[in-house]
Amino acid sequence: MEQYAINGGNPLVGEVEIGGAKNAALPILAASLMTDETVLVENMPDVRDTNILLKAMAGIGAHVERLDRHSVRINASLIHDLTVEGDSVKKIRASYYFLGALLGKYKKATVVLPGGCDIGCRAIDQHIKGFKALGATVSIAHGMITAEAPKLVGSHIYLDVVSVGATINIMMAAVLADGRTTIENAAKEPHVVDLANFLNSMGANIKGAGTDVIRIRGVERLHRTEYAIIPDQIEAGTFMFAAAATRGDITVKNVIPKHLESISAKLTEIGCEVRESDDAVRVVASKPLGHTHVKTLPYPGFPTDMQPQIAVTLGLSKGTSIVTESIFENRFRYVDELIRMGASIKVEGTTAIIEGVSRYTGASINAPDLRAGAALVIAALAAEGISVVDDIRYIERGYEDFHLKLQKLGAQIDKVESERELQKFKLKIS
């Protein structure tokens, strides 16, 4: 099994190129099935989740041609199957985007019920409510969910919770429905806007994405497009906190600084210097860092996908910090691992009370999920001595070349596959 071997304690310094956003790429790839014409998607991250999705698309008959690592040409005119199943697709949350996309285009879809990171209850009632409002019947049997409709008709849908997935799924189903759809209390995340821009570039008529009311006027068909995915806000934020935790100096390049505002604000508040330019943000952590309170919220609030990374950093900052998780109830599973590295953190319900310590020490740790895994790698890079991080397949779901990008910033990190390779790493750094 692959692991990361890490020798921590050095500040990370340098520049890192941020890739395309995983959580925008996933719905955009699914939505590319909604036209019979050819779609070119660029700036696609080459990560496990996007590759699983592309394979599933090819499995139902789409022609998927990888032009290079980050560009793919898709033609879905010969789709022969409206059922998406299989073990790998079951493991990714985004498999549910096939529901909205195929229901929208073919008025029927059956998809294996989604998995994804084990970060808490991940209901899909709002997706179902939206599909039903558009006229579909939805049934669940044998682990599969089916949505179908003789025809979809626009509707007024108020989401009871702000949900990225439900907003995206309803948007996809509604673009080819008859008439107008309004989604109220919609999610405003940059990837919701990116999908709307992608669909509009295919001829859809979506207005208001990025606000909490999205208005869609159904069109008859979608057409070809060429589209580049936005930069990954969470990948960028992860490197920004890596700078803070290791007391380094990192410039994240190819980003949209506006998308990083809540992250930059917290870094500034705890004492980092954050310098923005047009498409880059530099984080310098030269002074001792202080404490703060932070609560995760839907965009433009502080992202739940950055919660473990800020907690790891606050664990090394002076004073008492409070981190409240308001989106997913099971997102503190990394805390036990961090405590094994010397952190002083107490979790009470959805709140973590963090007493800053002066250092972490290296340990053998497990990545419990994607973002927590990345955060634990940051902890290991900040820690004194050697750490081994297990279950890195979670991290590879959403970070492209994570260890290679870290190496370029001066990190001593290798991917190892055996005890022998781990010994080699230890010899190399001694």
Q: In this chain, which of 263, 327, 380, 406 binds ligand EPZ, going by CB under 6 A?
A: 327
> Is 121 a known active-site residue?
no
Min separation Cβ 313 and ligand EPZ, Å:
18
Fill in the DSSP letter of residue 114: P
Tell me the DSSP string of 333-372. TTHHHHHHTT-EEEEETTEEEEE--S--B--EEE--SHHH
Judged by CB under 6 A, the stretch of 40-48, 157-165, 256-264, 332-340 that binds ligand EPZ is 157-165
Fill in the DSSP letter of residue 167: H
Cis-peptide, bond into residue 368, ω within 30° of zero: no
Which is catalytic among the residues 101, 117, 242, 281?
117
Q: Does the footprint of ligand EPZ cover residue 350 (CB under 6 A)?
A: no
Non-local (6+) Cβ contacts of 333 within 8 A are: 118, 119, 368, 369, 372
Q: Does the footprint of ligand EPZ cover residue 122 (CB under 6 A)?
A: yes
Q: What is the C-alpha to C-alpha distance for residues 88 and 95, in angstroms, rounded to an integer?
A: 10
Question: Please, what is the end-to-end C-alpha distance for the chain in angstroms?
Answer: 24
Q: Does the footprint of ligand EPZ cover residue 296 (CB under 6 A)?
A: no
The one-letter amino acid at 31 = A
Q: Does the footprint of ligand EPZ cover residue 165 (CB under 6 A)?
A: yes
Q: Does the footprint of ligand EPZ cover residue 121 (CB under 6 A)?
A: yes
The pairing of strands 293-295 and 280-284 is unpaired
Q: Does the footprint of ligand EPZ cover residue 281 (CB under 6 A)?
A: no
Min separation Cβ 366 and ligand EPZ, Å:
17
Residue 371 among known ligand-binding residues: no
Phi, psi of 406, deg, nearest 5:
-65, -40
Q: Does the footprint of ligand EPZ cover residue 356 (CB under 6 A)?
A: no
Q: In this chain, which of 53, 370, 374, 379 binds ligand EPZ, going by CB under 6 A?
A: 370
State the DSSP H helix or E strand holding residue 148, giving kind and residue range, or none if neither.
Answer: strand 144-148
Cα dihedral 27, 55, 149, 163 in deg (nearest 10) = -30
**Cβ proximity to ligand EPZ, 48 vs 70, nearer residue:** 48
Min separation Cβ 329 and ligand EPZ, Å:
8
List active site positions.
117
Q: Which residues bind ligand EPZ (CB under 6 A)?
A: 23, 26, 93-94, 117, 119, 121-127, 161, 163-166, 187, 304-305, 327-328, 370-371, 398
Annotated binding site for UDP-N-acetyl-alpha-D-glucosamine: 93, 305, 327
Annotated binding site: 22-23, 93, 305, 327
